[in-house]
Each structure stands twice: as C-alpha cells, then as structure tokens.
Amino acid sequence: MEDQETIIHRLTELESEHRNLDDVIDQITFSGSFDQIQVQRLKKRKLILKDEILRLRSMLIPNTIA
C-alpha cells in the first residue's frame, strides 16, 4: 500500500485536473461552436478522474468494524 503522503499528493493532482476539466468544458461549450466528441471525451476523462479520486480517498479512510 502506498504511504499517505503519496496518496494525498496524487489526490491533490487529480482533484486539480478534475477542476481544470470543468473550466475547459465550460469554455468550450460557452463558445457556441464546439466539437461534441471532444466534449464527450473530456467528460469521460472527468468520470475516470472522479473514480480514481474516490478510490484514493477510500484508501485514506481506515477500515473499522462498526
């Protein structure tokens, strides 16, 4: 298992990329004429990032028995 610092660092990078993709998608769609396929690819990348972010966050939460 990766150490916490490495996980937190990677998590920060992924969250930043996720936010940046939001901005890029907004800019592209706001411009009026845009490539729908490009937007779909960006949204798919966002979903992949979201899944990875959730996976990393779950690694930071200790397993406890209720």
Digitized pLDDT (tens) for each residue of the chain, 66 residues in all? 569 999 999 999 999 999 999 999 999 999 888 889 999 999 999 999 999 999 999 998 876 665
Answer yes or no: is 66 within a domain.
no
Answer yes or no: is 18 within a domain.
yes
Distinct helix (H) and strand (E) counts, the chain: 2, 0
Tell me the pLDDT tens digit for each residue of 46-55. 999 999 999 9
Q: How many domains is the chain partitioned into structurally?
A: 1
pTM for the model: 0.82
Given the structure tokens 């028995």, which residue do they identify?
65
Answer yes or no: is 65 within a domain.
no
Q: What is the DSSP string of 23-55?
A: HHHHHHHHTS---HHHHHHHHHHHHHHHHHHHH
pLDDT of residue 32: 81
CB 26 within 8 A of CB 46: no
pLDDT of residue 65: 61
Give the structural domain span for 42.
Answer: 4-60
The one-character DSSP state at 31 is T
**Cα–Cα distance between 10 and 45 in angstroms, integer?**
16
Answer yes or no: is 12 within a domain.
yes
Answer yes or no: is 8 within a domain.
yes
